[in-house]
Structure formats: structure tokens, C-alpha cells
Structure 1
Amino acid sequence: MNKTLIIILIILALGLIAYNVTLVDFEAPFQGDSTIALIGILASLCAIVLLLIFMTSKKIDKKIKDN
């Protein structure tokens, strides 16, 4: 995957986090649609972590191949 594509996916995940934060009812965060929004926030955070791990593994792979 291209570095530009990974950055675009990270930005999209950040956008999803921002959208889901607006859906959370902070008075009752574990009821109704707030639960779904929290799950969406958690899923987006997991996607960001996975993409960052992938970028790091690509950098390591490149360094190994150069040596």
C-alpha cells in the first residue's frame, strides 16, 4: 500500500471518530445510539493503530532490504 493511501485512511478514521463523538450522549453513554457511537470510536482507533503498525513494518522491511 502506498504511504499516501495510508495517510488518507488515517484521516478518514479521524473523521469517523469526530463524527461519532458528536453522537455520544455523555449523560448516558452506554444506552441506545451512544453505545453504537462508542463502538465506532473504538473501531476507528483500532484501524488507526493497525495502519500505524503497518507503516512501521514497511519501514523496517525497507531497512532490512537495503542492508
Structure 2
Amino acid sequence: MNKTFAVILIILALALIAYNVTMVNFDNPLQGDSTVALIGIVASLCAIVLILIFMTSKKIENKLKK
């Protein structure tokens, strides 16, 4: 996976977070569609963390090869 593809995935995950934040009912965040939106936010954050870990591991791998 090259760097531009990873950046595109991170941007898509951030867009999903922004969309899901608009779906959360802050008066009652743990009922109905708000729960699904919160799960979507957490899943997007996990995806971002995994992509960043992968990018860091690729940088370390490239440094070890040199």
C-alpha cells in the first residue's frame, strides 16, 4: 500500500466520522440510531489507528533494509 492510498483511506475514515457525528442524538446517545453512529465513529477511529501503525511499520522496514 503506497502513501497516497493510505492518506485517501484516512480521509475517507475522517469523512465517515464527520457523518456519524451528525447522526448522534446528544440528548440520548445510547439509543436507536445514535448507538450505530457511535459504533461507526469507533470503527473509523480504529481504522485510522491501524493504517497509521501499518505506515509506521513500513517506514521501520525500509530503514532496516538500508
TM > 0.5 = yes
Tell me the TM-score normalised to structure 1 length: 0.98
Match of 2:50 in 1: 50
Tell me the TM-score normalised to structure 2 length: 1.00
In structure 1, stretches of 5+ residues that fail to align are none
Which contiguous aligned blocks of 4+ residues in structure 1 show a shift greater than 3 angstroms?
none
Match of 1:11 in 2: 11
In structure 2, stretches of 5+ residues that fail to align are none
**Aligned pairs, number:** 66
Letter in 1 for 2:2: N
Root mean square deviation, CA, Å: 0.2
Helix, strand or coil: the match of 1:52?
helix
